[in-house]
């Protein structure tokens, strides 16, 4: 989704960028909160030595054209800030955008939307991180997010995380729930500029609904 006038390579999709930052924030926070000694002792519980199978979405040329037309119309309304417009995105749309504009995420991330919540199935290959010797290990799991945008602030919080089909311990999950995982996005000038052009972001049933901001 090209919401920036001059998007950098493989970073043109605002929603891909949002999902990527959030998922990496989740993974980094998990490593930080677990701690080296705890992670070393619990490695088999939280990490795998093989990736988990993750679904992918393939769309037809007609679907791709229709999606790009909707995105372009919404971007035009966002930039003009004169005509109110809403953009509705399904999970299929989000996964198509990720597959088309971020092929490096193929087989690593799959989004679903259900009952007003966004879920992400992930299979992340890990690298060595400080004292953590994790190369060859995978973080496989599912996270449930609550997302909203009001008064120019994007909020994405964790509601539930399962790793290897096991829920995270409550003491870890409570720390996640206190974080806004989209904070890094709002600290980035390009992303922050895009967010300021949005009036609202709502997850309604099985779709994400965005509304552009109108200048008074």
| Distance (Å, whole) CA 33 – CA 40 | 13
Domain membership of residue 79 as a residue range:
14-212
Nearest to 14 by CA among 149, 145, 143, 116: 149
The answer to whether position 8 is within a domain reads: no
The answer to whether position 26 is within a domain reads: yes
Residue found by looking up tokens 């806004």 in the block: 180
The answer to whether position 7 is within a domain reads: no
Q: Which residue has the higher pLDDT, 98 or 197?
A: 197
Residue 183's pLDDT is 81
The answer to whether position 30 is within a domain reads: yes
Q: pLDDT tens digits for 90-127? A: 999 999 988 887 778 888 889 999 888 888 898 888 77
pLDDT of 211 above 70? yes
Q: How many domains does the chain have?
A: 1
Highest mean pLDDT out of 24-28, 143-147, 161-165, 208-212:
208-212
Q: pLDDT tens digits for 32-66? A: 655 555 555 666 677 888 999 999 888 999 999 99
Q: Which residues face 163 on adjacent strands? A: 141, 166
């Amino acid at each position: 989704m090209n919401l920036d006038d001059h998007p950098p390579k493989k970073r043109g999709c605002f929603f891909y960028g949002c999902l990527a930052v959030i998922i990496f924030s989740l993974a980094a926070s998990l490593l930080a909160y677990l701690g080296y000694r705890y992670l070393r002792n619990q490695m088999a519980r939280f990490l795998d030595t093989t990736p988990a199978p993750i679904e992918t979405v393939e769309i037809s040329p007609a679907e791709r054209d229709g999606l790009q037309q909707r995105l372009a119309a919404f971007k035009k309304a966002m930039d003009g800030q004169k005509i109110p417009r809403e953009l509705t995105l399904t999970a299929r749309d989000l996964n198509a955008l990720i597959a088309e504009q971020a092929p490096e995420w193929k087989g690593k991330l799959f989004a679903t939307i259900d009952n007003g919540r966004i879920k992400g199935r992930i299979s992340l290959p890990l690298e060595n991180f400080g004292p953590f010797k994790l190369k060859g290990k995978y973080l496989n799991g599912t996270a449930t997010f609550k997302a909203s945008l009001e008064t120019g602030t994007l909020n994405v919080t964790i509601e539930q995380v399962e790793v290897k089909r096991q829920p995270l311990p409550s003491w870890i999950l409570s720390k996640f729930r206190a974080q806004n995982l989209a904070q890094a996005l709002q600290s980035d000038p390009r992303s922050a500029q895009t967010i300021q052009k949005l009036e609202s972001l709502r997850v309604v049933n099985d779709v994400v609904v965005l509304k552009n901001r109108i200048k008074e």
